[in-house]
Copies of this chain bind each other. A is one copy, B any other.
Amino acid sequence: MNAVTVREKYRAALQASGARMTPQRGAILDAVLGTTEHRTADEILEAAQKLDSTVSRATVYRTLTLMVEIGLLRRLDLGRDFSYFDPNYVDNPNHSHLICLDCDKIIEFDDPELTACGRKIAETKGFELSASFVRLEGHCQCLKKNGSCPNRKK
């Protein structure tokens, strides 16, 4: 979905619930959806403030919640003590994630077999499936190959 379309959907969903499009919400939208990277709330705050210096942390959190509710964004738990936000959800809602324990690199993958498995299991157990999250943790080749990882933070 292109940027204009997303923004329109956003505006429409906001209006439908009596809410408004504001400069701050626009900046946050761009900060989180103007990339394919998985960002943290903190990173989104920083990026949004570059677009509109009045954006505050509170508004970032409120807006991200809003966007998740509208379905423009997915909140991801990748085993850290904070959330990542996944901007690729709208275009590809079934994908999952692989995260590197060394460098935090996040790789997406979309495996229809995996999706089908989940659906089948939920059905077997009499569940009406709402969402499924697959997280694979491991070590990418980087560290082993080079002795260091470009993304490495610590």
Contact = CB atoms under 8 A, between A and B. Distances in A.
Contacts of A130: 101, 137-139
Most buried by B among A111, A127, A137, A144: A127
Interface stretch (A44-52, A56-64, A116-124): A116-124
Interface residues of A, number: 33
B132 A136 contact: yes
A136 B140 contact: no
A16 interface: no
A15 interface: no
A129 B140 contact: no
Interface of A: 77, 79, 98, 100-101, 107, 109, 111, 113-114, 117-118, 121-122, 124-141, 144
